[in-house]
Protein backbone atom coordinates (compact mmCIF):
# COMPACT_ATOMS: atom_id res chain seq x y z
CA UNK A 1 0.00 0.00 0.00
CA UNK A 2 3.01 2.26 -0.37
CA UNK A 3 1.30 4.38 -3.00
CA UNK A 4 -1.88 4.85 -0.93
CA UNK A 5 -3.02 7.54 1.50
CA UNK A 6 -5.02 6.39 4.52
CA UNK A 7 -7.18 8.71 6.60
CA UNK A 8 -7.36 7.72 10.26
CA UNK A 9 -10.18 8.95 12.49
CA UNK A 10 -9.63 8.33 16.21
CA UNK A 11 -5.87 7.90 16.02
CA UNK A 12 -4.63 10.18 18.80
CA UNK A 13 -4.36 7.09 21.00
CA UNK A 14 -5.40 3.47 21.33
CA UNK A 15 -6.06 1.18 18.38
CA UNK A 16 -6.11 4.01 15.85
CA UNK A 17 -2.65 5.16 16.89
CA UNK A 18 -1.39 1.57 16.61
CA UNK A 19 -2.84 1.34 13.10
CA UNK A 20 -1.18 4.63 12.15
CA UNK A 21 2.17 3.41 13.46
CA UNK A 22 1.87 0.16 11.53
CA UNK A 23 1.01 1.95 8.30
CA UNK A 24 3.75 4.55 8.73
CA UNK A 25 6.35 1.88 9.49
CA UNK A 26 5.33 0.08 6.31
CA UNK A 27 5.87 3.29 4.35
CA UNK A 28 2.18 4.07 3.72
CA UNK A 29 1.12 7.73 3.71
CA UNK A 30 -1.24 8.64 6.54
CA UNK A 31 -3.44 11.59 7.39
CA UNK A 32 -5.12 12.01 10.77
CA UNK A 33 -8.41 13.70 11.60
CA UNK A 34 -8.32 14.85 15.23
CA UNK A 35 -10.24 17.28 17.38
CA UNK A 36 -7.16 18.23 19.38
CA UNK A 37 -4.23 18.92 17.07
CA UNK A 38 -1.76 19.64 19.87
CA UNK A 39 -2.52 16.29 21.52
CA UNK A 40 -2.32 14.47 18.18
CA UNK A 41 1.01 16.12 17.30
CA UNK A 42 2.58 14.55 20.41
CA UNK A 43 2.42 11.24 18.53
CA UNK A 44 3.12 12.39 14.98
CA UNK A 45 6.08 14.22 13.55
CA UNK A 46 5.65 17.22 11.26
CA UNK A 47 5.61 15.06 8.13
CA UNK A 48 2.17 13.65 9.05
CA UNK A 49 -0.73 15.90 7.99
CA UNK A 50 -3.22 16.49 10.80
CA UNK A 51 -6.65 17.94 10.02
CA UNK A 52 -8.74 19.44 12.76
CA UNK A 53 -12.19 17.89 13.03
CA UNK A 54 -14.58 17.01 15.82
CA UNK A 55 -17.14 14.26 15.20
CA UNK A 56 -19.67 16.35 17.10
CA UNK A 57 -19.41 19.21 14.62
CA UNK A 58 -22.16 19.34 12.03
CA UNK A 59 -19.76 19.74 9.14
CA UNK A 60 -16.62 17.66 8.70
CA UNK A 61 -13.54 19.29 7.13
CA UNK A 62 -13.65 18.52 3.40
CA UNK A 63 -9.85 18.66 3.08
CA UNK A 64 -9.52 15.61 5.33
CA UNK A 65 -11.37 13.47 2.78
CA UNK A 66 -9.76 14.73 -0.40
CA UNK A 67 -7.57 12.30 -2.35
CA UNK A 68 -7.54 9.49 0.19
CA UNK A 69 -7.55 5.83 -0.75
CA UNK A 70 -8.94 4.25 2.43
CA UNK A 71 -10.30 5.21 5.87
CA UNK A 72 -9.75 3.59 9.26
CA UNK A 73 -12.33 4.69 11.84
CA UNK A 74 -11.57 3.80 15.47
CA UNK A 75 -13.02 6.89 17.16
CA UNK A 76 -15.39 6.68 20.07
CA UNK A 77 -16.22 8.04 23.47
CA UNK A 78 -13.49 6.95 25.87
CA UNK A 79 -14.90 8.13 29.17
CA UNK A 80 -17.28 6.06 31.22
CA UNK A 81 -19.79 6.49 32.65
CA UNK A 82 -21.23 8.64 29.92
CA UNK A 83 -24.66 9.67 28.70
CA UNK A 84 -26.50 8.20 25.74
CA UNK A 85 -26.64 11.72 24.29
CA UNK A 86 -22.84 11.82 24.13
CA UNK A 87 -22.67 8.39 22.45
CA UNK A 88 -25.28 9.37 19.88
CA UNK A 89 -23.89 12.82 19.09
CA UNK A 90 -20.28 11.62 18.86
CA UNK A 91 -20.49 8.10 17.51
CA UNK A 92 -23.77 7.60 15.64
CA UNK A 93 -24.18 11.16 14.33
CA UNK A 94 -20.40 11.39 13.87
CA UNK A 95 -20.44 8.29 11.68
CA UNK A 96 -23.25 9.76 9.57
CA UNK A 97 -21.24 12.95 9.09
CA UNK A 98 -18.07 11.10 8.18
CA UNK A 99 -19.81 8.88 5.64
CA UNK A 100 -21.51 11.92 4.11
CA UNK A 101 -18.22 13.82 3.92
CA UNK A 102 -16.47 10.83 2.36
CA UNK A 103 -19.18 10.49 -0.27
CA UNK A 104 -19.14 14.22 -0.99
CA UNK A 105 -15.39 13.96 -1.63
CA UNK A 106 -15.96 11.09 -4.09
CA UNK A 107 -14.34 8.52 -1.78
CA UNK A 108 -14.25 5.13 -3.45
CA UNK A 109 -11.85 3.19 -1.23
CA UNK A 110 -12.49 0.89 1.72
CA UNK A 111 -13.83 2.00 5.09
CA UNK A 112 -12.44 -0.11 7.94
CA UNK A 113 -14.40 0.22 11.18
CA UNK A 114 -13.49 -0.99 14.66
CA UNK A 115 -16.65 -2.34 16.23
CA UNK A 116 -17.13 -4.65 19.18
CA UNK A 117 -18.15 -8.21 19.91
CA UNK A 118 -21.48 -8.56 21.67
CA UNK A 119 -23.43 -6.07 19.55
CA UNK A 120 -25.84 -8.80 18.47
CA UNK A 121 -25.43 -11.26 21.32
CA UNK A 122 -26.50 -9.65 24.61
CA UNK A 123 -25.46 -10.99 27.99
CA UNK A 124 -25.07 -9.55 31.49
CA UNK A 125 -21.73 -7.92 30.61
CA UNK A 126 -23.10 -6.10 27.57
CA UNK A 127 -26.17 -5.04 29.60
CA UNK A 128 -23.83 -3.59 32.22
CA UNK A 129 -21.71 -1.82 29.62
CA UNK A 130 -24.82 -0.39 27.96
CA UNK A 131 -26.04 0.85 31.33
CA UNK A 132 -22.75 2.53 32.21
CA UNK A 133 -21.93 3.79 28.74
CA UNK A 134 -25.07 5.21 27.13
CA UNK A 135 -26.23 2.08 25.30
CA UNK A 136 -22.89 2.06 23.49
CA UNK A 137 -23.30 -1.42 21.98
CA UNK A 138 -26.76 -0.67 20.65
CA UNK A 139 -25.37 2.41 18.91
CA UNK A 140 -22.28 0.57 17.69
CA UNK A 141 -24.56 -1.87 15.85
CA UNK A 142 -26.45 1.13 14.45
CA UNK A 143 -23.10 2.56 13.25
CA UNK A 144 -22.33 -0.75 11.55
CA UNK A 145 -25.72 -0.58 9.82
CA UNK A 146 -24.96 2.94 8.56
CA UNK A 147 -21.77 1.64 6.98
CA UNK A 148 -23.36 -1.49 5.53
CA UNK A 149 -26.13 0.62 4.00
CA UNK A 150 -23.87 3.43 2.79
CA UNK A 151 -22.88 1.91 -0.52
CA UNK A 152 -19.21 2.42 0.45
CA UNK A 153 -16.91 -0.61 0.41
CA UNK A 154 -16.12 -1.61 3.99
CA UNK A 155 -14.71 -4.06 6.50
CA UNK A 156 -16.21 -4.19 10.00
CA UNK A 157 -13.99 -5.72 12.67
CA UNK A 158 -15.77 -6.66 15.89
CA UNK A 159 -12.89 -6.66 18.33
CA UNK A 160 -12.91 -8.51 21.62
CA UNK A 161 -11.98 -6.74 24.86
CA UNK A 162 -9.18 -4.37 23.88
CA UNK A 163 -5.98 -4.62 25.86
CA UNK A 164 -2.65 -2.82 25.71
CA UNK A 165 -0.66 -6.00 26.27
CA UNK A 166 1.17 -7.57 23.36
CA UNK A 167 0.96 -11.28 22.65
CA UNK A 168 2.43 -13.67 20.13
CA UNK A 169 -0.78 -15.70 20.06
CA UNK A 170 -2.63 -16.11 16.80
CA UNK A 171 -5.62 -13.95 15.89
CA UNK A 172 -8.87 -15.73 15.22
CA UNK A 173 -11.51 -14.32 12.89
CA UNK A 174 -15.09 -15.58 12.79
CA UNK A 175 -18.67 -14.62 12.15
CA UNK A 176 -20.81 -16.11 14.90
CA UNK A 177 -21.38 -13.07 17.13
CA UNK A 178 -19.45 -13.64 20.32
CA UNK A 179 -20.92 -12.43 23.59
CA UNK A 180 -18.93 -9.93 25.61
CA UNK A 181 -16.67 -12.06 27.81
CA UNK A 182 -13.19 -11.44 29.15
CA UNK A 183 -11.91 -14.62 27.54
CA UNK A 184 -12.58 -13.02 24.16
CA UNK A 185 -9.89 -10.36 24.09
CA UNK A 186 -7.36 -8.86 21.73
CA UNK A 187 -4.48 -6.42 21.98
CA UNK A 188 -4.92 -2.96 20.46
CA UNK A 189 -1.86 -3.61 18.33
CA UNK A 190 -3.39 -6.86 17.04
CA UNK A 191 -6.76 -5.22 16.34
CA UNK A 192 -4.89 -2.49 14.45
CA UNK A 193 -3.15 -5.17 12.40
CA UNK A 194 -6.50 -6.69 11.42
CA UNK A 195 -7.76 -3.27 10.29
CA UNK A 196 -4.63 -2.62 8.25
CA UNK A 197 -4.68 -6.08 6.66
CA UNK A 198 -8.35 -5.61 5.77
CA UNK A 199 -7.32 -2.67 3.59
CA UNK A 200 -4.59 -4.68 1.93
CA UNK A 201 -6.79 -7.60 0.94
CA UNK A 202 -9.61 -7.36 -1.55
CA UNK A 203 -11.20 -10.46 0.08
CA UNK A 204 -12.00 -8.50 3.28
CA UNK A 205 -14.45 -6.18 1.50
CA UNK A 206 -18.15 -6.24 2.40
CA UNK A 207 -17.56 -8.43 5.47
CA UNK A 208 -18.33 -8.17 9.19
CA UNK A 209 -16.42 -10.46 11.53
CA UNK A 210 -14.98 -10.74 15.01
CA UNK A 211 -11.28 -10.72 15.88
CA UNK A 212 -9.95 -12.19 19.12
CA UNK A 213 -6.76 -13.74 20.44
CA UNK A 214 -6.69 -17.47 20.07
CA UNK A 215 -5.03 -20.23 22.08
CA UNK A 216 -5.51 -22.59 19.18
CA UNK A 217 -5.94 -22.02 15.47
CA UNK A 218 -5.72 -18.56 14.01
CA UNK A 219 -4.74 -16.53 11.00
CA UNK A 220 -1.63 -17.72 9.22
CA UNK A 221 -2.31 -16.30 5.75
CA UNK A 222 -4.46 -13.16 5.71
CA UNK A 223 -5.88 -13.63 2.24
CA UNK A 224 -7.04 -17.16 3.13
CA UNK A 225 -8.50 -16.03 6.45
CA UNK A 226 -10.51 -13.22 4.82
CA UNK A 227 -11.50 -15.45 1.95
CA UNK A 228 -13.01 -18.01 4.31
CA UNK A 229 -15.46 -15.42 5.69
CA UNK A 230 -18.84 -14.91 4.04
CA UNK A 231 -19.96 -11.62 2.54
CA UNK A 232 -22.64 -9.65 4.39
CA UNK A 233 -24.58 -9.32 1.16
CA UNK A 234 -26.21 -12.71 0.51
CA UNK A 235 -26.34 -11.92 -3.21
CA UNK A 236 -22.59 -11.52 -3.31
CA UNK A 237 -21.02 -14.72 -4.57
CA UNK A 238 -18.26 -15.90 -2.22
CA UNK A 239 -15.16 -17.51 -3.62
Ligand X SMILES: NC(=O)c1ccc[n+]([C@@H]2O[C@H](COP(=O)([O-])OP(=O)(O)OC[C@H]3O[C@@H](n4cnc5c(N)ncnc54)[C@H](OP(=O)(O)O)[C@@H]3O)[C@@H](O)[C@H]2O)c1
Interface residues with ligand X (CB under 6 A)?
10-16, 34-36, 39, 54-56, 74-78, 90, 114, 116, 159, 161-162, 188
Q: Which is nearer to ligand X, 55 or 229 (CB)?
A: 55
Residue 159: CB minimum distance to ligand X, A? 4
Beta pairing partners, 50: 32
219 forms beta bridges with none
Output 77 or 112, the one with its CB closest to ligand X.
77
Residues linked to residue 158 through DSSP beta bridges, in sequence order: 115, 210
Whether residue 192 contacts residue 22, with contact meaning beta carbons closer than 8 Å, is answered with: yes
108 or 128, CB closer to ligand X?
128
Nearer to ligand X, 123 or 236 (CB): 123
In the bound complex, what is the minimum distance in angstroms from residue 239's beta carbon to ligand X?
28
Q: Which is nearer to ligand X, 9 or 229 (CB)?
A: 9
Please, what is the minimum distance in Å from the beta carbon of residue 99 to ligand X?
A: 15
Q: Shortest Cβ distance from residue 68 to ligand X (Å)?
A: 17
Biggest CA pair distance of the chain: 46
Instruction: Please give the backbone phi and psi of residue 8, each rounded to the nearest 5 degrees, phi first.
Output: -110, 130
CA end-to-end distance (rounded Å), the chain? 23
- The answer to whether 111 and 148 are in contact (CB under 8 A) is no
> Under DSSP, is residue 163 helix (H, G, I), strand (E, B) or coil?
strand
State in angstroms the smallest separation of the CB of 2 from ligand X. 25
Amino acid sequence: MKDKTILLIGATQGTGLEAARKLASDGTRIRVLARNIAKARENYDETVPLVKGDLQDKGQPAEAFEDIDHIIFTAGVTKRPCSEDLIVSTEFEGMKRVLAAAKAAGFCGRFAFLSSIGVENPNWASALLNKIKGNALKWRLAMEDLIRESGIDYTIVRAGYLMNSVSNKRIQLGQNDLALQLRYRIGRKEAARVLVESLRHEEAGGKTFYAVRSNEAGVTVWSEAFNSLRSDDPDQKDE
